[in-house]
């Protein structure tokens, strides 16, 4: 994967496959501390200790539709290549938290990518879910939730082209206000 936003998309898709109804995405950029942290938390079915330890192995998957599970292993590799790490905390029946840390200025850190496109796809493609997105950079913060979005457009479909255009603009402007390129 070319950028970290695609890794986020992949991990969230894992959460959806694990029957999550609530997903929280937190991105914290701390250039002065040379740190980037991405945290994805869900209330899906979770994993026992054995499965969560094997989850970063590219040749391990719980799916019967394919014989490899690459999402978490690719994210772990991207973190390690950039002087960071990936941690999985999970409990059966309670959900999973994936935390990836990166050395912010590391030459091998992948770019964050388009959080505007990633969040647009997640929010509009999964209207039944409760999704929250918080992005922090150098003491500033931007927050967007599916609940708030539904309240803004309660009488309109979220797939209405004007709603999609509004959402992209809101994300782009909100991220720009905290110093993040969409």
The reply to whether 73 falls in a domain is yes
Calculate mean pLDDT across residues 23-51. Answer: 94
Residue 78 pLDDT exceeds 80: yes
Asked if the structure places residue 31 within a domain, the reply is yes
Domain span holding position 62: 4-177
User: Are 177 and 142 contacting, i.e. CB atoms less than 8 angstroms apart?
Assistant: yes
At 54, the pLDDT band (50, 70, 90 cuts) reads low
Copy the structure tokens of residue 162: 């004007």
Whole-angstrom distance, CA of residue 151 vs CA of residue 146: 9
Q: What is the domain count for the chain? A: 1
182 within a domain of the structure (yes/no): no
49 burial via Cβ count (<10 Å: 0-12, 13-18, 19+): exposed
Confidence grade of residue 47 (pLDDT, cut at 50, 70, 90): confident
pLDDT computed for residue 182 by the predictor: 73
How far, in Å, are 27, 81, 136 from residue 140 at the CA level?
A: 12, 27, 6
Q: Are strands 130-137 and 85-91 parallel, antiparallel or unpaired?
A: unpaired
> What's the CATH code of the domain at 66?
3.30.565.10
Q: Residue 40 in 3-state DSSP?
A: strand
Cα 77 from Cα 43, distance rounded (Å): 25
* φ/ψ bin of 3: left (φ > 0), alpha (ψ from -120 to 50), beta (otherwise): beta
Residue 66 has pLDDT above 60, yes or no: no
Q: Is residue 67 part of a domain?
A: yes
Q: Rounded to an integer, what distance in angstroms lies between the CA atom of residue 27 and that of residue 163? A: 24
Let me know if residue 37 belongs to a domain. Answer: yes
Average pLDDT over residues 129-146: 97
Does residue 10 lie in a domain region?
yes
Q: What is the three-class DSSP state of 155?
A: coil
> Average per-residue pLDDT in the chain?
90
**Measured between alpha carbons, how far is 142 from 173 in angstroms, rounded to an integer?**
10
DSSP letters along 92-151, please? TTTEEEEEEEEETT-TTPPP---HHHHHHHHHHH-TTSEEEEEEEETTEEEEEEHHHHHH
The separation between CA 166 and the C-alpha centre of its own chain, rounded to angstroms, equals 21
């Amino acid at each position: 994967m070319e950028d970290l936003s695609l890794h986020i998309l992949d991990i969230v898709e894992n959460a959806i496959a694990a029957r999550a109804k609530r997903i929280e995405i937190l991105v914290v950029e701390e250039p002065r501390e040379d740190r980037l942290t991405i945290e994805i938390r869900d209330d899906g079915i979770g994993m026992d200790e054995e499965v969560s330890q094997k989850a970063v192995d590219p040749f391990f998957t719980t799916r019967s539709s394919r014989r490899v599970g690459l999402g978490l292993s690719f994210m772990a590799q991207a973190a390690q290549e950039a002087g960071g790490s990936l941690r999985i905390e999970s409990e059966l029946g309670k959900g999973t938290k994936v935390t990836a840390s990166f050395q912010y200025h590391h030459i091998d850190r992948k770019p964050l990518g388009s959080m505007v496109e990633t969040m647009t796809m997640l929010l509009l493609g999964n209207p039944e879910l409760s999704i929250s997105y918080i992005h922090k950079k150098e003491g500033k913060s931007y927050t967007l939730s599916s609940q708030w979005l539904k309240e803004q457009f309660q009488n309109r479909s979220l797939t209405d082209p004007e709603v999609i255009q509004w959402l992209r603009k809101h994300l782009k402007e909100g991220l720009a206000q905290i110093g993040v390129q969409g």
